[in-house]
């Protein structure tokens, strides 16, 4: 077979024969797999190539390596590495649990690598994993692998099953989804449901169980059981089979074997982290000495030397390490203050230095923060990789990143490894030189391509999307992403108690610990505030009692008040002139984007005594951090929590408002003036000084004040000289001076013209790409609108086509924005040459507006805010900004005409809530070309007409748009009680979240305009009381016998049962805790502080299947209760939930614990979880007044995808904030019965006359 010589047959499988072969070209032994059929059909050929693609996408020590794919005489073959060793099925069993733990970690790592590449294995069993002679375990035989983003695979002949003989089993064996070996298959896979990542985790758990116990978990069951019961039965607990098994390891295996997929590990990465932590604890490495002093870091990050005090992040540390083992570049992102720096510095880096990335290389760690000169920082950090005495100039990174990397490759040995840690990558956009961002990113990515080099990055979540515009790095961010979530309540307790316990200190009461933990998880940015409060509490500890008293927290003013009170005390201790200096310098340590900014002492005018005294006091008070950088002292705020939690600083920043850009330009000009030895030519002209009116002189540095005064003095002198010259200077002298000035003006004009010409070319290119981006965007949106209505296969193909079109649109977007950004930079360079050039200033604003329009059409909110700020800074007269506020026009008609119209505008407050304001009566319909002077934005119209129900119509109006709108008003009595009429209209559907989250987590299309016709929708979800009415009405005819709510899940379940008395009884099983009540009795949730008693007849019904819901809708139709009752379509549901403006939640873009019923509402406590009476959370009412459309229970809807798909929307009481996003889409099978899934009723719109 070409360069391969077959030696002997190793074995046969369902897909083909495996031979031992020799690669005659490379002189190595390989395994060669031939497809089974001599003349394979197209389906078999596709499946074989699917296996090849699946393995080829993986590169991991715990996965078999593929060398080549080819065909010979029409028969496909696959060449992989030949592994010397035994399959796990050939090992003598049972195996010692300690050894199984090592095997488990290898299998989990290999499976995690597969899942990260979108590959399911679907046939994990002992025979499909090899233990090599070196003791390494490898996953193999991906013959049943499924590529998650591709179409569903063709059927495969089922292998023999070790299961009870059931006639239906043979029918299942021909089903497309029943692939694998039943002894190890997940219950849902045995039922023919599509396999998921959690199905693979079940199979892995079954293998681990068998290795420990000697028999597979299902072999502990009664063989005479019916197949359905056998498939979903729980096996004998592992500790009962293996007495010496570690209970923690047994718990991990048990969790993998949960019959409910959602109760298993969420991912193989999560299982890896748990196994790694357990293995690390069992190996008991020697502990280092505990450092002396305060174990809490306050506003400073944890460093490697503080790892003994770093608690609460062990799972996350292991997860990042596992990613680094398999991937060369990992990007940690999350909210400001979530602990990204501490995770890496105190958690990951020390473990890497100890060898946590595995044998073969000894890794050293290098760290850097980009700062104002990112390239210099990178060149400096990598100097240690070079031979002694060598250094690479940072300019080489800018001009030729490849040459820079080649030089480093020359010195990187085979045994040495390097981990480069780049912290606070957002500084590329906040304080770094803009022209250095792209070469820095390219250099970092090329470094990660070096053998033995790993790169670890951190970036604030709100800057994550901006990384996509950087060359090289933009393509990596999606797969490199690791999202660091806030501490859980349990982890927060560890971070609170652990450091004190390491020093032999305890807390006075459990209530004190609970209060502190609650503060960390209940608010955004709570962790740095907690750390600061803990550092203060440590200083207030009672040494005699060796405890931290509760009174100390009260004295601090609680966690939230501790930081603000401390900062105010530091300010109060300053001398008046030092306080004024602090007032001037602190806002300068904040970037325009609202992040911390690092400034040198020279930039802050630290030579002034008052300024230096203020800096010294702020550093001593831990509000500002001083660092030595390149031989000079730099300063920065100690933590961005100060920007949110210190009211005084926040008020200063707000007070500056729109004058801040002017002040920053003035300070920059003052610095340049000082650098030029206070030359008069660098002073500001009278026109520029006009812009400084209203600037608070106390907010200026002493140098800025001096510059301002000098400029005013120079202006006054200039006026005097001008008057004197007019009267006393001879005409010849005037002409001579005019000639000199003319020469200077001519020189400036040449430079400005050169920059403008460069900007013109870039602008033309940017506008051309902008036009292309808009066309591609509209095409992609049209394709997404046309995705639904077909089969699963047709829909998958349409969706893939739409996603490809969207990727093209995003590429054009980035190209357009990059070109326009470069044009703006050229114009800004021209403005530096001639600060008084209004034409150039106007062109800058024009370019910024083009970029803003582009960001607006692609719904890039962060970019919009940034560009709006910059436009305000340059457009001093505001004339061009009027384009952004061009008022829209509305022409409104109604059926019937003559309806009174009230208009209200949605405003988003500082917290993210959207509220209505400015109600005004517009008159009666018809209304023609009504100009809305308030400008573009989100509005709600309310129409009233006698004899008709009031109708609300949310609309989103663009700048200068003319929208004709017709609103029908149904007659009174045409809308059933408890329902709302939603008129025909347009709205935004989908998600504008980052691409990996949109496609991976939310499964949503990009945010785009869609529309629906009119329809009716219930104000609340269907309740148990309403369902009982259905059961009682239908039971005489026997139609509702199978419609009683229940779920089979033991740990989390619900059941509604009739009693002999005729009263029904509702039972919830919440994590194996039973809550039960009969009709008329309240249901008690013991762990709740509020809403403890619930009238269960008003709880949303759950534990019903899609078919049950269909029967309920048919009953509503048949009995005339709700004519035209039906399921809501997904688009209808999303419009009813979000209105017109694409908000994240029904009430805005923020969700607090009390706004809705989701996992945080009752503190994630097991005995508090559960539904609420419908309508218990009016704060999250939708623009149409609908309740509980976020949280409480998921709601069945008809999918906007395939005809066969069933989508559930809205999240439930058990799930987190991401799951309850209005754009989130989840799919279930028709037979699904779940404690967290119910329904809401929609109905056809009633006929409305003219």
- 343 neighbors 313 (Cβ within 8 angstroms): yes
Element (H, E) at 139: strand 137-139
d(CA 330, CA 460): 14
Phi, psi angles (nearest 5°) of residue 32: -120, 125
Distances (CA, A) of 500 to 146, 435, 494, 506: 49, 46, 10, 6
Q: How many CA atoms lie within 13 A of 978 on its CB side?
A: 14
Phi, psi angles (nearest 5°) of residue 679: -70, 145
Structure tokens at 551: 């009174």
d(CA 266, CA 1151): 23
Residue positions counted in the chain: 1250
* Non-local CB neighbours of 722 within 8 Å, separated by 6+ positions: none
Handedness of CA 1139, 1145, 1149, 1155 (dihedral sign): positive
d(CA 732, CA 292): 80
Structure tokens at 178: 């029943």
Element (H, E) at 953: strand 951-957
Q: How many CA atoms lie within 13 A of 444 on its CB side?
A: 40
Phi, psi angles (nearest 5°) of residue 826: -65, -40
Q: Do the strands 1125-1126 and 1093-1094 form a parallel or antiparallel pair, or are they unpaired? A: unpaired
d(CA 230, CA 267): 25
d(CA 295, CA 281): 22
d(CA 816, CA 763): 9
Which residue reads 């050293």 in tokens? 364
Task: Report the chain's terminal Cα–Cα distance, integer Å.
Answer: 79
d(CA 440, CA 434): 10
User: 208-243: string of b/e by CB count within 10 Å (b at 16+)?
Assistant: bbbbbbebbbbbbbeeeeebeebbbeebeebbebbe
d(CA 1065, CA 62): 52
* 125 marked as part of a ligand binding site: no
- 1148 neighbors 1179 (Cβ within 8 angstroms): no
Q: Which of 182, 258, 176 is nearest to 216 (CA)?
A: 182
- 913 neighbors 1150 (Cβ within 8 angstroms): yes
Q: Is 707 helix (H, G, I), strand (E, B) or coil?
A: helix
d(CA 1224, CA 1229): 17
Q: Is 718 helix (H, G, I), strand (E, B) or coil?
A: helix
Angle between helices 247-256 and 268-283 in degrees, nearest 10: 170
- CB atoms near residue 696 (< 10 Å): 14
- 1189 neighbors 1182 (Cβ within 8 angstroms): yes
- 77 neighbors 3 (Cβ within 8 angstroms): no
The conformation of residue 346, written as its DSSP 8-state character, comes to I
Cα Rg of the chain (Å, integer): 34
Structure tokens at 174: 């021909």
Element (H, E) at 331: strand 329-334
Q: Which of 476, 160, 151 is nearest to 323 (CA)?
A: 476
The conformation of residue 357, written as its DSSP 8-state character, comes to T
As annotated, the binding site for ATP includes: 33
As annotated, the binding site includes: 33
């Amino acid at each position: 077979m070409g360069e391969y010589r077959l030696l002997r047959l190793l074995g046969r499988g369902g897909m083909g024969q495996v031979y031992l072969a020799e690669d005659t070209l490379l002189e190595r032994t390989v395994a060669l797999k031939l497809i089974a059929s001599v003349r394979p059909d197209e389906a078999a050929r596709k499946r074989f190539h699917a296996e090849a693609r699946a393995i080829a996408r993986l590169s991991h020590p715990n996965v078999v390596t593929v060398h080549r794919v080819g065909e010979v005489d029409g028969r496909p073959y696959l060449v992989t590495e030949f592994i010397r060793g035994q399959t796990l099925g050939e090992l003598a069993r049972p195996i010692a649990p300690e050894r199984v733990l090592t095997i488990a970690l290898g299998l989990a790592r290999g499976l995690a690598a597969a899942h990260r590449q979108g590959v399911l294995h679907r046939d994990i069993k002992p025979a499909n994993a090899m233990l090599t002679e070196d003791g390494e375990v490898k996953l193999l035989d991906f013959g049943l692998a499924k590529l998650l983003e591709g179409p569903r695979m063709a059927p495969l002949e089922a292998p023999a099953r070790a299961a009870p003989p059931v006639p239906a089993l043979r029918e299942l064996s021909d089903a497309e989804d029943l692939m694998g070996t039943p002894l190890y298959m997940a219950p849902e896979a045995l039922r023919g449901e599509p396999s998921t990542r959690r199905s693979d985790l079940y199979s892995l758990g079954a293998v681990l169980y068998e290795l420990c116990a000697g028999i597979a978990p299902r072999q502990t069951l009664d063989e005479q059981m019916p197949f359905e019961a056998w498939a979903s039965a729980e096996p004998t607990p592992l500790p009962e089979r293996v007495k010496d098994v570690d209970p923690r390891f047994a718990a991990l295996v048990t969790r993998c074997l949960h019959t409910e997929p959602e109760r298993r590990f969420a991912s193989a990465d999560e299982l890896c982290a748990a196994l790694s932590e357990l293995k690390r604890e069992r190996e008991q490495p020697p502990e280092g000495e505990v450092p002396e002093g305060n174990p809490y870091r306050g506003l400073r990050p944890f460093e490697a030397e503080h790892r003994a005090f770093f608690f609460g992040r062990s799972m996350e540390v292991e997860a990042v390490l596992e990613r680094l083992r398999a991937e060369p570049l990992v990007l940690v992102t999350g909210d400001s203050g979530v602990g990204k720096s501490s995770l890496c510095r105190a958690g990951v880096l020390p473990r890497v230095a100890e060898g946590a990335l595995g044998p073969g290389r000894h890794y050293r760690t290098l760290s850097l923060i980009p700062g104002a000169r990112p390239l210099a920082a990178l060149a400096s950090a990598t100097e240690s990789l070079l031979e002694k005495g060598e250094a690479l100039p940072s300019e080489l990174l800018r001009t030729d990143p490849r040459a820079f990397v080649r030089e480093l490759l020359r010195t990187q040995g085979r045994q040495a490894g390097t981990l480069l840690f780049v912290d606070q990558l957002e500084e590329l956009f906040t304080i770094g030189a803009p022209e250095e961002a792209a070469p820095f990113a390219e250099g970092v990515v090329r470094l990660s391509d070096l053998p033995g080099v790993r790169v670890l990055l951190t970036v604030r979540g709100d800057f994550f999307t901006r990384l996509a515009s950087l060359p090289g790095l933009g393509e990596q961010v999606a797969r490199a992403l690791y999202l660091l979530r806030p501490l859980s309540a349990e982890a927060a307790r560890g971070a609170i108690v652990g450091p004190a316990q390491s020093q032999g200190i305890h807390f006075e009461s459990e209530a004190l610990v609970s209060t502190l933990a609650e503060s960390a998880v209940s608010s955004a940015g709570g962790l740095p505030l907690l750390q600061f409060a803990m550092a203060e509490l440590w200083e207030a500890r009672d040494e005699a009692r060796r405890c931290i008293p509760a009174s100390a927290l009260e004295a601090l003013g609680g966690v939230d008040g501790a930081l603000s009170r401390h900062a105010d005390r530091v300010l109060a201790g300053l001398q008046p002139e030092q306080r004024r200096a602090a007032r001037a310098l602190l806002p300068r340590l904040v970037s325009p984007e609202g992040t911390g900014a690092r400034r040198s002492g020279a930039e802050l005018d630290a030579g002034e005594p008052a300024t230096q005294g203020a800096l010294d006091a702020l550093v001593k008070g831990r509000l500002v951090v001083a660092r030595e950088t390149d031989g000079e002292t730099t300063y920065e705020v100690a933590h961005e929590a100060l920007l949110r939690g210190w009211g005084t600083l926040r008020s200063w920043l707000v007070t500056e408002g729109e004058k801040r850009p002017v002040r920053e330009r003035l300070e920059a000009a003052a610095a340049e003036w000082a650098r030029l030895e206070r030359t008069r030519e660098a002073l500001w002209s009278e026109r520029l000084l006009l812009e400084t009116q209203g600037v608070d002189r106390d907010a200026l540095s002493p140098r800025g004040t001096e510059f301002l005064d000098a400029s005013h003095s120079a202006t006054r002198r200039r006026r005097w000289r001008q008057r004197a010259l007019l009267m006393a200077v001879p005409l010849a002298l005037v002409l001579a001076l005019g000639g000199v000035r003319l020469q200077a003006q001519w020189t400036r004009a040449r430079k400005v013209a050169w920059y403008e010409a460069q900007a013109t070319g870039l602008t033309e290119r940017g506008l051309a790409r902008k036009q292309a981006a808009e066309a591609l965007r509209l095409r992609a949106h049209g394709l997404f609108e046309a995705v639904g209505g077909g089969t699963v296969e047709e829909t998958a193909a349409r969706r893939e086509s739409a996603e490809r079109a969207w990727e093209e649109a995003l590429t054009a977007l980035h190209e357009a924005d990059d070109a326009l950004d470069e044009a703006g930079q050229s114009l800004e360079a021209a403005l530096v040459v001639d600060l008084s050039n209004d034409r150039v200033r106007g062109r800058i604003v024009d370019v910024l507006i083009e970029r803003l329009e582009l960001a607006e059409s692609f719904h890039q909110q962060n970019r919009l805010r940034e560009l709006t700020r910059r436009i305000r800074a340059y457009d001093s007269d505001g004339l061009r900004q009027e384009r952004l506020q061009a008022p829209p026009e509305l022409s409104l008609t109604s059926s019937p005409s003559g309806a009174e119209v009230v208009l209200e505008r949605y405003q988003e407050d500082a917290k993210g809530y959207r509220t209505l304001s400015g109600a005004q009566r517009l008159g009666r319909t018809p209304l023609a070309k009504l100009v809305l002077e308030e400008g573009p934005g989100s509005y709600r119209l309310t129409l009233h007409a006698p004899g008709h129900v009031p109708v609300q119509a949310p609309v989103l109006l663009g700048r200068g748009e003319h929208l004709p709108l017709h609103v029908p008003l149904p007659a009174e009595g045409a809308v059933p009680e408890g329902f709302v009429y939603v008129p025909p209209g347009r709205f935004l559907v989908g998600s504008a979240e980052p691409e990996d989250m949109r496609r991976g987590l939310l499964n949503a299309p990009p945010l785009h305009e869609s529309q629906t016709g009119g329809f009716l929708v219930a104000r609340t979800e269907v309740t148990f009381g309403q369902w009982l009415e259905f059961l009682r009405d239908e039971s005489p005819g026997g139609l509702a016998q199978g419609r009683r709510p229940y779920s089979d899940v033991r740990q989390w379940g619900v059941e509604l049962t009739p009693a002999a008395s005729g009263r029904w009884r509702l039972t919830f099983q919440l994590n194996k805790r039973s809550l039960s009540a009969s009709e008329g009795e309240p249901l008690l949730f013991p762990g709740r502080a509020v809403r403890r008693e619930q009238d269960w007849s008003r709880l949303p019904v759950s534990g019903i299947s899609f078919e049950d819901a269909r029967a309920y809708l048919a009953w509503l139709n048949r009995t005339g209760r709700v004519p035209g009752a039906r399921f809501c379509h997904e688009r209808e549901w999303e419009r009813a939930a979000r209105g017109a403006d694409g908000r994240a939640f029904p009430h805005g873009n923020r969700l607090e614990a009390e706004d809705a019923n989701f996992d945080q509402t009752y503190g994630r406590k097991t005995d508090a979880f559960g539904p609420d009476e419908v309508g218990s959370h009016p704060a999250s009412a939708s623009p149409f007044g609908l309740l509980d459309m976020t949280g409480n229970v998921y709601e069945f809807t008809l999918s906007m995808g395939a005809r066969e798909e069933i989508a559930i929307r809205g999240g439930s009481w058990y799930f987190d904030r991401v799951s309850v996003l209005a754009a989130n889409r989840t799919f279930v099978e028709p037979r699904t019965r779940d404690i967290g899934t119910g329904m809401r009723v929609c109905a056809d719109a009633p006929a409305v006359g003219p």
